[in-house]
């Protein structure tokens, strides 16, 4: 079954979309979109390092994403993380990564596939790595759901209930790095944040509870993955951007339709 490139692409996209859209709810609730951007953009540097040292790309991306995410996490603790600093990090890391790719690997890689993803070319092994990563992210989210939620609501409220808000924030930081590592082959560094934010934002208007929002976001994420792959085959367009376009279309539908119906 995994011999079919379409099946592999579908599995990889669905696994990524599932983890990203559920984690994305926290990204939206805590307004971490820019944080996600900075981490994702920096992952290009991870690609460069992985290629230079002959490591797995997922490993390189995961490691760099982790370092960047932890750096931002620490800056945030000292209340120094303004929009401006995140902006510097996000774009600085991307530029540094692009330069590093050129310097370290010459012209022998197809940069575009790491910027925008290339899910039609994932291997069976890639699919395994993606599902292992996505499964781990979902498992941690399941396990930490309540503490994460109360820490998101108010850190002091969490402290008073015996939940360490700094630990929960660290958990989110690690999960974000994991999702970036998982998603880079599917949607690429530039569009990972889209996969985090758009399904969750679309789910907001349909949900009445945090869990409901996560489930609906997951549904939108999976549907986007399916529609995106189908669309990219039919229209002969790049798959990653087409998945994101499908997510945007579903977002628009989910935002506008309830308003029209409820009116």
What residues line the site for another protein (CB under 8 A)?
28-31, 78-79, 146-147, 149-150, 152-163, 165, 200-201, 204, 207-210, 212-213
Nearer to another protein, 106 or 162 (CB): 162
The DSSP secondary-structure symbol of 108 reads -
Asked whether the beta carbons of 237 and 211 are under 8 A apart, the reply is: no
> Is the backbone of residue 82 left (phi > 0), alpha (psi -120 to 50) or beta?
beta
Cβ at position 37, least distance to another protein in Å: 17
Nearer to another protein, 33 or 222 (CB): 33
Cα–Cα distance measured from residue 105 to residue 109, given in angstroms and rounded to the nearest whole number: 7
Cα–Cα distance measured from residue 84 to residue 94, given in angstroms and rounded to the nearest whole number: 15
Cβ at position 248, least distance to another protein in Å: 17
Cα–Cα distance measured from residue 37 to residue 87, given in angstroms and rounded to the nearest whole number: 9
Asked whether the beta carbons of 163 and 171 are under 8 A apart, the reply is: no
Cβ at position 187, least distance to another protein in Å: 22
Nearer to another protein, 204 or 249 (CB): 204
For 58, the token pair is: 């997922």
Of 20, 169, 194, the closest CA to residue 81 belongs to 169
For 234, the token pair is: 């039919």
Cβ at position 175, least distance to another protein in Å: 18
Cβ at position 48, least distance to another protein in Å: 35
Nearer to another protein, 28 or 178 (CB): 28
The structure tokens 């890391």 sit at 93
Cβ at position 7, least distance to another protein in Å: 35
Nearer to another protein, 20 or 158 (CB): 158
How many angstroms separate the Cα of 200 from the Cα of each of 8, 85, 144, 234?
25, 25, 18, 27
Nearer to another protein, 234 or 262 (CB): 262
């Amino acid at each position: 079954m995994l011999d079919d490139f379409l099946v592999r692409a579908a599995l990889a996209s669905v696994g990524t979309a599932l983890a990203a859209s559920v984690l994305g709810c926290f990204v939206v609730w805590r307004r971490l979109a820019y944080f996600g951007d900075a981490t994702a953009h920096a992952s290009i540097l991870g690609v460069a390092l992985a290629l230079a040292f002959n490591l797995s790309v997922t490993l390189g991306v995961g490691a760099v994403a982790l370092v960047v995410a932890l750096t931002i996490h620490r800056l945030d603790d000292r209340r120094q993380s303004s929009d401006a600093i995140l902006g510097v990090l996000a774009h600085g890391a991307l530029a540094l990564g692009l330069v590093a790719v050129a310097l370290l690997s010459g012209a022998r890689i197809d940069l575009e596939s790491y910027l925008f993803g290339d899910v039609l070319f994932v291997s069976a092994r890639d699919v395994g790595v993606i599902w292992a990563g996505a499964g781990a992210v979902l498992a941690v989210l399941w396990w930490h759901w309540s503490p994460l939620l109360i820490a998101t609501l108010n850190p002091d409220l969490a402290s008073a209930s015996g939940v360490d808000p700094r630990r929960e924030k660290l958990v989110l930081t690690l999960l974000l790095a994991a999702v970036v590592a998982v998603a880079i082959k599917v949607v690429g560094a530039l569009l990972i944040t889209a996969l985090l934010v758009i399904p969750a934002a679309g789910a907001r208007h349909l949900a009445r509870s945090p869990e409901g929002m996560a489930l609906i976001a997951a549904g939108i994420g999976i549907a986007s993955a399916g529609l995106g792959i189908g669309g990219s085959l039919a229209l002969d367009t790049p798959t990653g951007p087409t998945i994101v376009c499908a997510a945007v279309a579903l977002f628009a539908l989910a935002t506008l339709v309830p308003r029209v119906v409820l009116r």
